[in-house]
Amino acid sequence: MVIGITGSIASGKSLVTNYLRTKGYKVIDSDKIAHSILDMPTVKAQIYETFAVDNRAALSKIVFNDKAQLEKLNAIMKPLIIDKLKKEMQKRHEKIYFVDAPVLYEMNLQYMFDKVLVVYVDKEAQIVRLMRRDLISREYAIKKISMQIDIESKKELSDFVIDNSQDKDMTYKQIDEILRRLLNEI
């Protein structure tokens, strides 16, 4: 059974995936896949041709300020990410494993998973966490958050919700309960 993990930026997906790893579960990281694709010479050339930038920081500023530019980047990246993700998934033989896919719904990848788990925090907590994590202004944090599907919508679309607004122990208890339910399904 393959479980997609999503959420919005700064919702706490890393806390969840790190905990799953400590419990012995395999987690495929789609961001790492995307970064490896960004390092491919052919992709670098295509990005430079499209955006006239040659580094991730400059690219990030462009795509997080203009949805049309983000769509251009997704047109380049999405087929490559899906292909590499499918190859990684085919290697898995565990009864349950997870795929950390922050933009699962934005890229319409839900068809690839048996279940989807969303890591949830309210919008204000998300803004504060993002500002603190990335050392950015409130305005820029809100802009980055607005480039993704609203967390409330993701919550409604998902099979499982982990509310990560409280302390780590509460988050871990929710993960353990979801694991128990998943193990009962297989």
What are the pLDDT digits (tens) for 81-107? 999 999 999 998 899 999 999 989 988
Give the three-class secondary structure for 11. coil
pLDDT: which is higher, 146 or 18? 18
DSSP letter, residue 26: -
**What strand order describes the sheet that includes 97-100?**
27-29, 97-100, 2-7, 115-120, 160-163
Kindly state the average pLDDT of the residues 99-123.
94
State which fold the 2-185 domain adopts. Rossmann fold (3.40.50)
Give the pLDDT mean for 51-56.
90
Confidence of residue 35 (pLDDT cuts 50, 70, 90): very high
Q: What is the rounded average pLDDT of the residues 23-49?
A: 94
Percent residues over pLDDT 70 in the chain: 100
Q: Give which of 11, 35, 178 is closest to 98, Cα–Cα.
A: 178
Instruction: Work out the pLDDT band at 13, boundaries 50, 70, 90.
Output: very high
Among positive and negative, which fits the CA dihedral 60, 147, 15, 158? Answer: negative
Q: pTM (2 decimals)?
A: 0.90
Q: Indicate if the pLDDT at residue 158 is higher than 90.
A: yes
pLDDT value of residue 40: 94
What mean pLDDT value characterizes the chain? 93
Name which residue leads in pLDDT, 147 or 128: 128
Predicted local distance difference test score (pLDDT) of residue 56: 87
pLDDT of residue 12 exceeding 90: yes
In this prediction, residue 61 has a pLDDT band, given cuts at 50, 70 and 90, of confident
pLDDT reading at 148 higher than 90? no
Per-residue tokens: 166 = 């409280």
Q: How many CB atoms lie within 10 A of CB 83?
A: 12
Q: What is the DSSP letter of 110?
A: G
